Structures are given as C-alpha cells and as structure tokens.
C-alpha cells in the first residue's frame, strides 16, 4: 500500500516533467539526410559499439541498442544542459541540431545485439527478486513497475535489459553526483534518486548482474 502510493506519486511527477520535452520534438521540423545520419551514427558507434551493444572497458560505454527514443532524447538534452554531468557526452551532444537529436533518438531502437554479459552469476536470483518485488523494508518499489516486466522500458522509462553490468553499478552508486544537477530545473532523474539512494551496494550489484543478462 505504502509502496503503491509512493510509485504513483513518482509517476505523477514524471508525467509533469515529461511535458516540458514535448516542445523539443515540435521544433525539430528540419530534415536530416540519410548520409548525415550515417556519418553521425558511425561516430557514436566508435564508442557505443557497431550494433550499439556497448563496450566493456575501464570506462564502460553504455548499450544504446533497443533504448527508448524518449529516454535517449531526454539524456542527450540533459547532457547539453549539464543537468547530467559527463564531459565526453557534453562535447558529443552540444553540437547536435534539434533535428539530428531527434533522428539519433530513434536510430538505436531497432538494433538488438546479444547482451555483452560478463557479470558474476552468484547473485542472479537475488537480483531478479529485487527487480520484480523491490525491497519493501527500504521503501524501494519493484523496478518492474516502471521499467516493465521484461525490462524493455517505455517512453521516458529506460530499457535496462542487456545494459552493461559495470555501467549500471556506476550509475546507481553515483546518482546524486551525476544526475539532476540543476536544482532550478528538476527532471525525471528525481524519480530514481530515492531508489538509487536506498539500495545497498550488494543489492545494486545483484540487480545489475540480473539485468545485464536479459535479452
């Protein structure tokens, strides 16, 4: 009951935040040629992988394949606005035209490479349980209630299936330092803040390991 109330309050907040990005789509009326888009996506793939599968290095490059267009667009805009702090992605995204930003947001949706894998296998069952049931004692709602039963996301809720283990751990451990950094311009990252905050490192590792195996 308590968790249910929390989730619906968070969802209401998300819908409100989502409204502000709608104007962005309307501004992007100019066309992007197939050639321009290919040149740009070839560049993205040097880091994010030829099929958008991500790359497991000392700095993990997140998977973009199958990612929800609304979420991709929100993140590119957040990098530009420095609401989400990342120097590399600021440099990549602040030069994009509104039309290119929209085209890139949908480009990766239809790619479906196999997950890269590589996570330890000892806590997959614990991770699945957290994903499906949440952690009631820590007021963490089921991840599935927002990210979907198959973890494929929807609209502004990102796909987590097949996302890189190391990347998800880093994001959940550093949420407060990297996301929602402009307090005068709050965004959807506020929905995840208490969730990331309330999970222990062991719980984060378990749920990230589970998600990284999903197709």
Q: What are the residues binding ligand HEC (CB under 6 A)?
A: 7, 10-11, 14, 40, 43-44, 46-48, 59, 61-62, 64, 71-72, 74-76, 86, 88-89, 92, 104, 130, 140-141, 143, 145-147, 156-158, 160, 163, 168, 171-172, 178-179, 187-189, 191-192, 195, 199, 207
Considering the complex, state which of residue 85 and residue 121 has its C-beta at the smaller distance from ligand HEC. Answer: 85
Q: Which residues pair with 157 in a beta bridge?
A: 154
Considering the complex, state which of residue 27 and residue 95 has its C-beta at the smaller distance from ligand HEC. Answer: 95
DSSP category for residue 55: B
Q: How far apart are CA 19 and CA 137, in angstroms?
A: 33
Considering the complex, state which of residue 116 and residue 207 has its C-beta at the smaller distance from ligand HEC. Answer: 207
Q: Which two tokens stand for residue 3?
A: 């968790």
Considering the complex, state which of residue 157 and residue 161 has its C-beta at the smaller distance from ligand HEC. Answer: 157
- DSSP H or E stretch at residue 24: helix 22-27
Q: Which two tokens stand for residue 215?
A: 């197709």
Considering the complex, state which of residue 47 and residue 214 has its C-beta at the smaller distance from ligand HEC. Answer: 47
Instruction: Report, in Å, the least distance between residue 28 CB and ligand HEC.
Output: 14
Instruction: Report, in Å, the least distance between residue 27 CB and ligand HEC.
Output: 18
Instruction: Report, in Å, the least distance between residue 114 CB and ligand HEC.
Output: 18
Instruction: Report, in Å, the least distance between residue 120 CB and ligand HEC.
Output: 16
Instruction: Report, in Å, the least distance between residue 154 CB and ligand HEC.
Output: 10
- Spatial contact of 15 and 9, defined as CB atoms under 8 Å apart: no
Considering the complex, state which of residue 115 and residue 141 has its C-beta at the smaller distance from ligand HEC. Answer: 141
Q: Which residues of 72-92 are buried (b: 16+ CB within 10 A; e: fewer)?
A: bbbbbbbbbeebbeeeebbeb
Instruction: Report, in Å, the least distance between residue 121 CB and ligand HEC.
Output: 18
DSSP secondary structure of 106-174: HHGGG--PPP-----STTHHHHHHHHHH-BGGGTB--THHHH-TTS--BTTBPP-TT--HHHHHHHHHS
- DSSP H or E stretch at residue 207: helix 201-212
């Amino acid at each position: 009951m308590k968790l249910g109330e929390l989730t619906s309050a968070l969802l209401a907040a998300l819908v409100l935040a989502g409204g502000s990005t709608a104007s962005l789509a309307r501004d992007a009326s100019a066309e992007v040629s197939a050639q321009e888009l290919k040149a740009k996506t070839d560049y993205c793939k040097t880091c994010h992988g030829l099929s958008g599968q991500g790359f497991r290095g000392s700095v993990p490059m997140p998977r973009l394949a199958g990612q929800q267009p609304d979420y991709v667009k929100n993140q590119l805009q957040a990098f530009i606005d420095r609401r989400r702090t990342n120097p590399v992605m600021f440099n990549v995204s602040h030069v994009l035209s509104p039309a290119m930003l929209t085209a890139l947001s949908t480009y990766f949706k239809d790619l479906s490479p196999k997950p890269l894998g590589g996570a330890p296998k000892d806590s997959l069952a614990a991770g699945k349980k957290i994903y499906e049931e949440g952690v009631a004692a820590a007021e963490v709602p089921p991840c599935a209630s927002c990210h979907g039963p198959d973890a494929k996301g929807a609209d502004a809720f990102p796909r987590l299936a097949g996302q890189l283990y190391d990347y998800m751990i880093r994001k959940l451990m550093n949420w407060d330092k990297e996301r929602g950094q402009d307090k005068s311009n709050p965004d959807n990252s506020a929905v995840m803040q208490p969730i990331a905050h309330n999970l222990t490192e062991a719980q984060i590792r378990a749920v990230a390991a589970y998600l990284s195996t999903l197709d």
